Amino acid sequence: MDRLKPVHGATPHRTLGQRLRRMVYGIGPRLIALLVVASMLTTIGVALLQFRYNELADRQERAIELERIRLAHLDAIALALWNFDEAQLRLQLAVVLQGPYVAAVEVREPSPEGGDGTLRLRLGEADRPGLRVERLPLVHRRNGRDNLLGSLNVLYDEAAMQRNARQRALETVLIQGGIGLLMAMVLLLVVRRTVTRHLSALARAAATFDLADPRTSFRLQRRRRGPGDEIDRVADALETMREGLQRAYRDLERTNAELQADIAARLRAEATAEHLAHHDALTDLPNRRLLFQRITHELAVAERSNTLGALLFIDLDHFKTLNDARGHDAGDEVLVEVAARLRAGLREIDLVARLGGDEFVALLPMLGELRERVALNARMVADKLRTALAEPIVVGEEVHRISASIGVALFPEDGSSAEDLVKHADTAMYQAKAEGRNAVHFFQRDLLLAMEARHALESDLRQAIEEDALDVAYQPLVDLHGRVCGAEALLRWTHPRRGVVPPGQFIPLCEESGLVVAVGDWVLRSVLAQVHDWRASGQLGPEQYISVNISPRQFRQQGFGDRLLAALHETEVPPSALVLEITEGVVLDDIDNAITRMQTLRDHGIRFYIDDFGTGYSSMAYLKRLPADGLKIDRTFIVDLGSDNDDAAIVDAILAMGRHFNLAVVAEGVETAAQADYLRARGCGLLQGYHFGRPVDAAVFAAEHLNTPKPR
C-alpha cells in the first residue's frame, strides 16, 4: 500500500505513451540502466584483465615447458641424433609433442646453404596457421668438445592459446554479468518498494496542488512512528512549504489587489497629467502644445491631399477691462462660456484651443481645394463664431456682452509651419482690431511687414523705458483773459535713429503691449518732481496745476490710488496742483467702480477732467453721477468750429452741460484766433492749443509761461 497519497485532487489521466515515458525516465529504470552499464563495464574490464592474465600465464607455462624440455629431453634427443638411433629420436619427440599447445616438433640438421637447416624428423601438424616456433640448439659433447648437431623446433599453436584465453574471459563476462543483472533487479525492487512509488505519489500530489484550495495537503496517510524516514521528512517539508506558499499566496493576492488599485490610480493620474499637459486647465480646451502638434499634422495632410484649411485667431475685445473691473473669477466664467460656444460652433474634425488669456485659435482643416471657396467658408465660420459670442453671457446676476476680433490665415499658402501660421493669423487679428474691433480680417503680406515694424518699435520702446529715454513736454492752459492757469503734461519720445516718434504711434503701442502702466507711473513721478521744483522756486503759483492723462489700465490697476498718494506725499506736492484726465471709456466700462475710485482720490483733493468728451457715449445719466471737476472738448469739434454748424452745436451743448453741472470746460486743439474768440464768447473757461503754445520741455515751458524763479 502507498504510504503517501494526496488528500484532495485526482491524478490526471495519462496516455500509454506518457506512462511509458514516465517509466523510462523514472528513477528505477535509470538506476537499473546505471547498474547494468556499470556491471557491464566492470565485467568487461575484469574479462580483459582475465584475458591478459591467461595470456601471460600461458606464455609463462610455455617458457616453463621449454625449460623442462631443455633439461629433460634435449640431451637425449642430441644423443639419439649422434648415434643415429631413429627409434630413440622418435620416442623423445613423441614425448615432447604431448606438451600443452604443441602442434608439431621437428629436428633439423645444419645445411651448407644455411637457413633453417635440413629437416631430419618431424612429428605432428606443422602446416596449421597461427603456429609459433621455439628453437632449441642440439649440442653433443664428446671428448670435451661441443658438437652442434642441429636444432629442436617446437611449434606451439598460438591461435589455440588465444581461443582458450578468450573462452575463459567470456565465461567470466557471463558469470559477472549475470550476477550484476541479478543485483540490479533486486535493487530495483528495493528502490521501487522503498523510494520511487512514494516519490511518484508526492509528484501526483504536487501536480494537483492548488494554492487557492486550503484543503490541499502533502501529509502521509500512513506514517511510521518516530521521526520517520527521508520520504516522511520530504512530505513534512512539502507540507511546511505548502502552508508558507498559501500564506504568501494570500498575502500576494492582497498585495496584488492593492497594486492593481495603485496601478489604476497611477494610470488615472498619468492620463490626467497627460491631459493637463495638452489642455488648458480652465476651459479644458487644447493648449498651445497640442495645437501646434495638430497644426503640423494638418499642414502635412494639406500638402499631400492638395486641400486648403484655415486658422482663426480669436481675441476678445476689451476683455482685460472686464477682467480688471469685475475680477478674475467673473472673467474666468466668461472664458469658460466662450470656450463652450466656440466648441459648439465648429465641426468634429475642427479644433479650438486656448493660447492664454483671452486668445483662442480655431483650426479648420479640409475646407476645399479652391482658395476663394475656402476663404468664403472660413468667413462664414468666423461670422458664425462672432454671432455666437455676441449673445449675452450671464455670470451670477450680471449680464456681459462681448465681441471678438478674428484674424484668418489660410494654409498651407499663408504659412508652411505652425509658428508662421499662428503668427500670420495673429497679424490679421491685430488688423481687425485696428479696423474697429468686432471684425474679421484675412492675412495679407503687407500686414506682416507692418506688424514686424510694430514689434521693432515696441522693442525700441521697451529699451527707451529701461534707459529712461522718454521725455515729458508741457502745453499751457490759459483762461479767458490769457493767463496761464497750468499745463497738460504730454509724453514725448525722441528715438536715436527714428528721430521724434509721434505720440499717435507709440502711445497706442504702450496700451496694447501693457507698458502703459509702467510708463504712466513714470510720467506721474516725473511730473510731480517737476511740480515740486517749480513750486519750490516760486515759478508755479498755488492756483496753477498740471494735468496728466491716465490710461484705463493704469487707473484700474490695483493699488494705483495708494501709489499716487504716496508719490504726492513724497514730493510734498499738494493734491490741488494735480488734475487727472480720464476718458469716458474708463467710466462707461465699469461706472460703479470708477465712481468709487474717483471719489476716494477726490476726497484727498485730486481733481478729475473727462478727456475727449463728446466722442464717446456722453449722456446726462452718467455725467450727473460722476465726481468729475471738468470736461475737455475734443479737438475734432474745434477744427471746423467756424464753418461746421454741427461742431458748433456740439461745443455749445458741452459748454451748457458744464455750466449746468458746474464743471470746468477745457477746449483743446485751439489753433486760430477765430476759434479762441468763439470759445471765449460762449464762456469756455480754459483754452489749450497751438494758438497759445506748443508742447515744450520743462525748461522752455518755465521760461516762456511761468513766473521768474525767486532768488535763493
Q: What is the CATH number of domain 458-705?
A: 3.20.20.450
Angstrom distance (rounded) from CA 412 to CA 430: 21
Angstrom distance (rounded) from CA 474 to CA 84: 177
Mean pLDDT confidence for 484-506: 91
**Domain boundaries, given as residue ranges, for the chain:** 1-207, 209-276, 288-443, 458-705
Q: What is the SS3 assignment for 367?
A: strand
Mean pLDDT confidence for 576-590: 82
Residue 429, pLDDT score? 93
Which of 655, 598, 652 is CA-nearest to residue 628? 598
Cα angle: 691, vertex 695, 696; to 5 degrees: 125
Q: How confident is the model at residue 120 (pLDDT cuts 50, 70, 90)?
A: confident
φ, ψ at 282 (rounded to 5°):
-80, -50
Q: How confident is the model at residue 69 (pLDDT cuts 50, 70, 90)?
A: confident
Give 365's contacts (C-beta < 8 A, 6+ positions apart): 298, 301, 302, 307, 309, 349, 350
The answer to whether the CB of 691 falls within 8 A of the CB of 673 is yes
Cell, residue 170: 567470456
Question: Averaging pLDDT over each range in 27-36, 56-65, 85-94, 673-682, which range is the top one?
Answer: 673-682
Q: How confident is the model at residue 4 (pLDDT cuts 50, 70, 90)?
A: very low
Per-residue pLDDT of 601-626, as tens digits, reads 999 999 999 988 766 555 566 677 78
- Greater confidence, 32 or 315? 315
Mean pLDDT confidence for 142-154: 83
For 288-443, which CATH superfamily applies? Answer: Reverse transcriptase/Diguanylate cyclase domain (3.30.70.270)
Per-residue pLDDT of 181-235, as tens digits, reads 787 777 777 776 666 766 677 777 777 767 667 666 666 555 556 666 666 777 7
**Residue percentage of the chain with pLDDT more than 90:** 36
The answer to whether the CB of 567 falls within 8 A of the CB of 528 is yes
Question: Exposure string (b/e) for 621-643, b if CB count within 10 Å is 16 or more?
Answer: ebbeebbbbbbbbbbebbbebee
Model's pTM, two decimal places? 0.48
Cell, residue 216: 490541499
